[in-house]
Chains A and B, each alone.
Chain A
Amino acid sequence: AQSVTQLDSQVPVFEEAPVELRCNYSSSVSVYLFWYVQYPNQGLQLLLKYLSGSTLVKGINGFEAEFNKSQTSFHLRKPSVHISDTAEYFCAVSGGNTGKLIFGQGTTLQVKP
Chain B
Amino acid sequence: DTAVSQTPKYLVTQMGNDKSIKCEQNLGHDTMYWYKQDSKKFLKIMFSYNNKELIINETVPNRFSPKSPDKAHLNLHINSLELGDSAVYFCASSQSQSQPQHFGDGTRLSIL
Contacts and interface: CB of A to CB of B under 8 A. Distances in A.
A23 B112 CA distance: 36
A102 B98 CA distance: 13
Contacts of B40: 105
Given A32-B98, A44-B90, A46-B102, A98 B42 contact: no
A103 B96 contact: no
Contacts of B56: 98-100
Contacts of A44: 43, 90, 92, 103
A45 interface: yes
B97 to A, nearest CB: 3
A90 interface: yes
Give the interface residue-count category, chain A. 20 to 34
Nearest to A108: B41
Contacts of B33: 99, 101
B31 A99 contact: yes
A99 B48 contact: yes
B86 interface: no
A65 B105 CA distance: 25
B104 interface: yes
Interface in B40-62: 40-45, 48, 50, 55-56
B55 A98 contact: yes
Q: Which of A51, A97, A98 counts the most B-chain CB atoms under 10 A from its CB?
A: A98
Given A90-B43, A97-B97, 17 more contacts: A32-B98, A36-B103, A43-B104, A44-B92, A46-B100, A46-B101, A94-B98, A97-B98, A99-B48, A99-B50, A99-B96, A99-B99, A101-B33, A101-B43, A103-B42, A103-B43, A105-B42
